[in-house]
Amino acid sequence: AQSVTQLDSQVPVFEEAPVELRCNYSSSVSVYLFWYVQYPNQGLQLLLKYLSGSTLVKGINGFEAEFNKSQTSFHLRKPSVHISDTAEYFCAVYLSGGYNKLIFGAGTRLAVHP
């Protein structure tokens, strides 16, 4: 079965500290990986995506993620967070090979404190 696991439901962090939001997936078919951000009562905005090529992907707002095929992980990182980064973050996996579906993790709530 295909699934996406976000290992932390909540991550509290102080402003200007580094942060890592963890994501693992399981799939028997080729996958393409995404991170989305959601601010309160809004839709999802694409942060970054991995399709192929370099395993280190840079996105908007200073975020980056690294695809690790052997560990089936796609962790999101930022070296220095701001108060404005407080939001819900979703890891998602797009299944190819006839499935054609985007599967989401349960989300990680990032709370940045002053």
Partner 1 sequence: DGGITQSPKYLFRKEGQNVTLSCEQNLNHDAMYWYRQDPGQGLRLIYYSQIVNDFQKGDIAEGYSVSREKKESFPLTVTSAQKNPTAFYLCASKEGNFNYGYTFGSGTRLTVV
Q: Closer to partner 1 at the Cβ: 22 or 49?
A: 49
The torsion region of residue 61 among left (phi > 0), alpha (psi -120 to 50) and beta comes to left
**Chain contacts with partner 1 (rule: CB under 8 A):** 4, 6, 9, 32, 34, 36, 41-46, 49, 51, 90, 94, 96, 100-107
Asked if residues 22 and 45 have their Cβ atoms less than 8 Å apart, the reply is no
Q: Is 53 helix (H, G, I), strand (E, B) or coil?
A: coil
Q: Closer to partner 1 at the Cβ: 43 or 114?
A: 43
Asked if residues 78 and 63 have their Cβ atoms less than 8 Å apart, the reply is yes
Q: Closer to partner 1 at the Cβ: 45 or 84?
A: 45
Least Å distance, CB 51 to partner 1, is 6
Give the distance between the most distant pair of CA atoms in the chain: 46
